[in-house]
Amino acid sequence: MRKLKNSELDRLSVDEFKDIQKTPLIVVLDNIRSLNNIGSVFRTSDAFLIEKIYLCGITATPPHKDIHKTALGSTETVAWEYAKNTFDVIEKLKSEKVVVAAIEQAENATMLNDFAPKRFTKYALVFGNEVKGVSQQVVSASDMVLEIPQFGTKHSLNISVSVGVVLWDVFAKLKALG
């Protein structure tokens, strides 16, 4: 086997990315403090053709050198918007018939491996602060809670890892639906 060169990867141009049909997923970042985590979310969102990212509360916005360090240009491809209040974004999305899922450990959460997205449904996935997680107000306002199963001694994953796990899982399930 031979590793492929970047020139062999057949990647989209920025204009092609902006014009291509997106995955019906929106990412909402609820008070993320790490600029490197924000950049990683952009990069992962680019990889899975995510429709939009909402940067809420204390979550920093591009342009910023520490976001750029991990985003590697994806802040130019993935649509994003800043909102001061995460709860207001959730209410807006719900009024647009978007199904809102908080990614959190909570009572009656659906384990990610058991989650079956519905065809022709747009989802917003809410990821929370590195220490406090998704705020209780946002969890309460969400249509559902998805939990990433974990089996070790730690109780959480880094947010950028959580985003990667959840986006890949939901993206693959949606692609399987056609």
**Residue-by-residue DSSP string for 96-143:** TTPEEEEES--TTPEEGGG--PPTT--EEEEEEBTTTBS-HHHHHHSS
**128-154: b (≥16 Cβ within 10 Å) or e:** bbeeebbbeebbebbeebbbbeeeeee
pLDDT tens digit sequence for 98-155: 999 999 999 999 999 999 999 999 999 999 999 999 999 999 999 999 999 999 999 8
pLDDT (0 to 100) of residue 170:
98
Residue spans per domain, the chain: 20-177
| Distance between first and last Cα of the chain | 31
pLDDT tens digit sequence for 27-67: 999 999 999 999 999 999 999 999 999 999 999 999 999 99
CA dihedral 104, 41, 142, 169 (to 10 degrees): -70
Mean pLDDT of 60-75: 97
CATH class given for the domain over 20-177: alpha beta
Taking a C-beta distance cutoff of 8 angstroms, is the pair 122, 97 a contact? Answer: yes
